[in-house]
Each structure stands twice: as C-alpha cells, then as structure tokens.
C-alpha cells in the first residue's frame, strides 16, 4: 500500500506507542485523591507541561479535549456564548470561507439555534484571507463582533494563512481570535504567545500521536462557556475523565514533532516537489491548487482536467494508492469542495482535484508508484467522464 493521505491521519510514532502501551497498564483516575489517582494526575500534568513548552504557552493555558473537532466546537460555541453574555450586542462570528467543517458547522449551528450572525469572509484564488478583508468586515460594526476564527493552514489545499497579522487586526478591536492549527503543528513554526491568538486547536493523530487526544489552548482571561458539563476536570471548561495514556502519547508526539519540525518540513517539501513534478510529467495539464509558496510542506492538491476526482481516487485505490479528494470528514459525500469553490473554481473544476499528503514514512518509492499509476488512471477517468456526458 502506498499511503498518501497523512493529512487525514498519520501513523502513531513508535515512541508514542511505547508510552501509551506502558500507560495502559497503570491504574488510576487523575481526579482521584489516592496514590493511584495522584500518579495519574502527575502524568497528566507532565503531559500538559510538555505541550506548553513545545508550543509557547503556559501549562494553565492547555485544556485537553478528545480531539480537534471537540476543541473547535468548544472554541466557536463557548467563546461566542461567553462574549455574547458579557455584551449582548456581540452577535457576529467571522470565519474564513475555507474553514474546516469542524468550525463552519458549529458556527452555522449557532446561527440556526443561538441567534449568532455568521459571516464567511472571502479568500483569494490561493485560499488566503487578506488582513484588509478582515479589517473591513470588523469595521462595518466593530462592537457587534464576538469572535473571529481562521485556520492556521488549510487541510485541503495546504495554504498557510497570515495568522499573526490577522490576530493583530482582531486584537485592535478587542475581539477574541481562534485558529484551528490541526494541520500546522509539527510542520509550521507554531508559537501560541508569539502569534497573538486567543485560542488554538490541535490534535494528536495528525502529528504521530493517538486518535482521541487533542487540546484547546486558551490565553489567560479567555474563558469559554463549557459545552460539556459534568466533573469540570479541565479548569471547569471541559468535563470528562482524562484518558491518561492517550495524553501521555499526545504529549510525546507534540514534543517530537516540534523538535524535528524544521528538518522534517524541509524533507517533506522536497518530496512534495518531486511528487508534483512526477505527476506533471505523466499528466502535463494538471493544476496545483493553493498558494505556490505559503503552503504546507507535505501538501499537493492537484486538479486533473476532465476527471471526476472520486472516480480517479478509486482507480488509484485499486492500484494500492491511498489519497483523498479533500477533507476525510467529507468522504463519501459527492459534492464539490467548498474550499476550491471559495477560491473561485466552478463546481465542475472543483470536483477534479485530488489531495496527496505526505508524512513520516513517505518515500521516493511512493512517488514513483504514483507516477506509474497516474497516467493510465487519468486516461480511464477522462474516458468515463466523457461517456457519461455524451
């Protein structure tokens, strides 16, 4: 199998597996007062400290969640509720039009059920949000904005946003700024304090950690209304028994990913360029979607004119090559990518793209296998599309 879908999920690192395996053999609830509970609590707090050190925040600013989707929901819903409660005039939620559905869907749920006014801000042809666009949207009525949420790097096309500039604009108007950095941590230089954001989402399984462990980083004074209620284990912000072994593995994954980031990103970028060149040699009329330079090192979102992306994906899958038409969360849903549509593509063009995403373990042999398979697969996909339309 040739696995080119690391943006969807990537294998746990051996060090992570070893940490979790050891942890699963240790009994104890981190909220219990006895010795076993105190030992579990120590592991949780050491994990929190590890993540804080790696990402430029204090341990108190790390709130553990079950993953990116929960963290995004807590940020969008909880921060809106908190700000709106303080000032009922603040009803607007500003998001970029290319956000992950873990941000877009809770934002629109808030509009349908909680009276929020959601505005999707337009991006350019590369998928980037200009700080001037954000400023103009805020200045239409600065006192009505409760929250801004813009992802650090796009999961589909890999475009990296100017987060520090965008966060600075929001800060000028005393508006909380959340960023989904799920794809960025371990590939981009992510520093919570230096970025100026109010809240930041990350998850374990995108960077060699386990599925089921994530975090929302919250700056001091930024306190969302809880989405989950119960024991209040995480600063009274998030309830639920902490899964100590997963958090230990999560922390190890973050520590290693950040420590190795520069070298790893350089290797990924070189392999990505090799992949794009190899595919272009086989199919000369491809399009590379997303920003040409400000993009994730391991992301290649490629348009294949005359093909249906879903059909091409299955043809490659039959050859043992795993890739994606976009977000894994939208898999199986036959619709054009909202990201490519927001970037100006028409619906037919938006359905022509595949995402190839590289990670640890990706090799030139994987690129060679794709290069050998892509030409015949594209030819078959184009003939099939032409037959359906004739």
Is 14 exposed, middle or buried (CB count within 10 Å of its CB: 0-12, 13-18, 19+)?
exposed
**DSSP code of residue 98:** T
Boundaries of domain holding 132: 58-240
Per-residue pLDDT at 385: 86
- Positions annotated as catalytic residues are 329
Give the CATH number for residue 337: 3.90.1150.10
Q: What is the pLDDT of residues 221-262, one digit of tens each?
A: 999 999 999 999 999 999 999 999 999 999 999 999 999 999
d(CA 329, CA 251): 24
Task: Name residue, tokens 């005039």.
Answer: 89
| 214 in the same domain as 307 | no
- Cα-based distances in Å from 101 to 68, 107, 154, 169, 278: 11, 9, 11, 24, 32
| 234 in the same domain as 314 | no
| 380 in the same domain as 275 | yes
Give domain status of residue 32, yes or no. Answer: no
Give the CATH number for residue 164: 3.40.640.10
Q: What is the pLDDT of residues 300-328, one digit of tens each?
A: 999 999 999 999 999 999 999 999 997 55
Contact present, 183 and 212 (Cβ < 8 Å): no
Per-residue pLDDT at 327: 53
Quickly state the pLDDT bin for 334 (edges 50, 70, 90).
Answer: low
d(CA 178, CA 78): 11
Per-residue pLDDT at 285: 97
Provide the number of structural domains found in the chain: 2
Give domain status of residue 185, yes or no. Answer: yes
Which segments within 117-252 are labelled E, that is strand?
117-121, 145-149, 176-180, 199-203, 214-218
Per-residue pLDDT at 302: 98
Tell me the average pLDDT of the chain: 96
Q: Which of 18-27, 103-112, 114-123, 177-186 has the lowest mean pLDDT?
A: 18-27
Sheet with 92-96, side-by-side order of all strands: 62-65, 214-218, 199-203, 176-180, 145-149, 92-96, 117-121
Query: Which helix H or strand E contains 268, and what residues bound it?
Result: helix 261-282
| 196 in the same domain as 79 | yes
């Amino acid at each position: 199998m040739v696995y080119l879908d690391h943006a969807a999920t990537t294998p746990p690192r051996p060090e992570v597996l070893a940490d979790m395996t050891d942890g699963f053999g240790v009994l104890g609830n981190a909220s219990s007062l006895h010795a076993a509970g105190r030992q579990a609590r120590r592991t949780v707090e050491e994990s929190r400290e590890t993540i804080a050190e790696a990402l430029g925040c204090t341990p108190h600013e790390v709130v553990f969640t079950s993953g990116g989707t929960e963290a995004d929901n807590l940020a969008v819903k909880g921060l809106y509720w908190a700000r709106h409660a303080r000032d009922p005039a603040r009803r607007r939620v500003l998001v970029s039009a290319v956000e992950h559905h873990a941000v877009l869907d809770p934002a629109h749920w808030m509009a349908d059920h909680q009276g929020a006014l959601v505005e999707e801000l337009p991006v350019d042809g590369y998928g980037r949000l200009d700080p001037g666009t954000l400023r103009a949207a805020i200045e239409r009525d600065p006192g009505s904005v409760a929250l801004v949420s813009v992802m650090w790097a796009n999961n589909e096309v890999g475009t990296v946003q100017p987060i520090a500039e965008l966060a600075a604009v929001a800060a000028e108007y005393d508006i909380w700024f959340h960023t989904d950095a799920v794809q960025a941590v371990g590939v981009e230089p992510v520093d919570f304090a230096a970025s100026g954001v109010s809240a930041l989402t990350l998850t374990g399984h995108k960077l060699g950690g386990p599925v089921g462990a994530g975090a929302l980083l919250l700056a001091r004074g930024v306190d969302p209304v809880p989405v989950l209620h119960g024991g209040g284990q995480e600063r009274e912000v998030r309830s639920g028994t902490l899964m100590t072994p997963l958090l230990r593995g999560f922390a190890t994954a973050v520590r290693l990913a950040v420590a190795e980031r520069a070298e790893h990103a350089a290797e990924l970028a070189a392999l990505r360029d090799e992949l794009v060149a190899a595919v272009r040699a086989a199919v000369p009329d491809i399009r590379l979607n997303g920003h040409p330079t400000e993009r994730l090192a391991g992301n290649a979102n490629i348009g294949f004119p005359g093909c249906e992306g879903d059909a091409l994906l299955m043809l490659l899958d039959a050859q043992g090559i795993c890739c994606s038409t976009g977000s894994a969360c939208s898999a199986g849903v036959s619709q054009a990518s909202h990201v490519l549509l927001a970037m100006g593509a028409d619906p037919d063009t938006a359905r022509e793209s595949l995402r190839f995403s590289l990670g640890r373990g990706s090799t030139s042999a994987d690129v060679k296998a794709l290069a050998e398979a892509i030409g015949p697969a594209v030819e078959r996909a184009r003939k099939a599309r032409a037959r359906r339309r004739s």
